[in-house]
Copies of this chain bind each other. A is one copy, B any other.
């Protein structure tokens, strides 16, 4: 058998260098989550179709990767459906849709949110609320692969469930600030509130028709206020309202300006005023934190609107133009879909792949992100290797990553290995050194070479590192 091997489109192999960088990224994020008392959970890669279907809209459902039932899956296919497929092969797409649930009863998770909601409901009796959890696992989507969009990618979710307090929103924003500060990235944190959006629609005369209001608003950056206004007018918003809205919704003006504009505009809407109060309280708490990042009210922010009920949060990179790199919000009824209503939660998700791309483009990964070998003993033959092994053991006992080249190949070839693997220190113990009880230690970056007596080797190497 002689195949040219490849991997499914939209998926990736991670070799040592990207892996060490990814681990640095995940460890940084994880360490911040833990400092704030969030606890890890993991859920299975597969969920039942009952759990997943109908949670992501019709488009989302199509992007779920189904697992074919094991064994005799064909026995589950309805005969009528088989006949339909034979008689009308042009309509096979329709048949496929029906057949899916006959040949598959589980699928790969599409995100971490629905599995988390399922977890909370399933384990409600074991959980002490408020439940602060984080979850860092891959998800799978049958999206068309393109630059920066993959069919397998990691999500890093952090949520508090079972608490209404705005302290949670504030803490998540502090966590965002901590994570990106530690990573050395410049960001702006944009916030909005679903209740304000509802209030804006209401005060504009659209009643509870939030969608008409936000669908136009969402396009502000692309089409400009003039076209947004035209769309709004076509939906029935008065010219007077639009004049009042214009200064509030744009990206100009301070948070204070926006709040005072909103105070005026929303005064007739109870929901709107409640949302505004939430935003003001949130900003009051946040102001005490002395964040590195700025927090900006952005009324065009409406991500996942049908899902969030309070705060909406999104993070943009100021280093490069790449879209949202983190986002989330408050949801009041996520577990309701699994029969456990009235549990409010708030959470954000860090987009590991995009953050990785930003880090890479600005050369943001420290050299330390490489957890590779620090010391390589060259191999001059079996007897010399015998001397190297206990010395290497002592170096490892000091927590220094160390290896012995396994084969007594030409020294040039072994040094090339050190070079290719970015190993900073090479230790040479040939026959001469062995007899003298001294190792030749070579610092690869400078080419400098020193002789060190065997008992001093670990401490000398520690000094060099």
Contact = CB atoms under 8 A, between A and B. Distances in A.
A243 interface: no
A44 interface: yes
B168 A406 contact: yes
Q: How many copies does the complex hold?
A: 2
A260 interface: no
B73 A82 contact: no
A361 interface: no
Given A7-B43, A386-B288, A104 B68 contact: yes
Contact of A402 (B36, B130, B407): B36
Given A19-B40, A35-B396, A48-B8, A288 B118 contact: no
A338 interface: yes
A54 interface: yes
Interface stretch (A90-98, A201-209, A436-444, A455-463): A90-98
Interface string A4-37: 1111100111111001101100000000001111
Interface stretch (A59-67, A272-280, A307-315): A59-67
B6 A407 contact: no
Interface residues of A, number: 117
A74 B79 contact: no
A190 interface: no
Interface in A374-423: 376, 379, 385-386, 389-390, 393, 396, 399-407, 416-417, 420-421
A376 B130 CA distance: 13
A46 B421 CA distance: 28
A408 B17 CA distance: 47
Centre residue among A65, A70, A168, A407 by max chain B CB count within 10 A: A70
A319 interface: no
A152 B45 contact: yes
A318 to B, nearest CB: 24
A349 B47 CA distance: 27
Given A65-B67, A289-B393, A404-B167, A46 B92 contact: no
8 contacts: A3-B339, A13-B41, A13-B123, A39-B372, A72-B93, A73-B99, A75-B93, A167-B379
Interface of A: 1-8, 11-16, 19-20, 22-23, 34-37, 39-48, 50-51, 54, 62-63, 65-68, 70-75, 77, 79, 82-83, 85-86, 89, 92-93, 95-96, 99-100, 103-106, 108, 118-119, 121-123, 126-128, 130, 132-133, 138, 140, 142, 152, 160, 163-165, 167-168, 171, 285, 288-289, 337-339, 371-373, 376, 379, 385-386, 389-390, 393, 396, 399-407, 416-417, 420-421
Given A5-B51, A14-B42, A71-B96, 12 more contacts: A3-B338, A7-B46, A8-B105, A14-B43, A35-B396, A40-B371, A62-B70, A66-B67, A67-B68, A68-B104, A128-B420, A163-B406
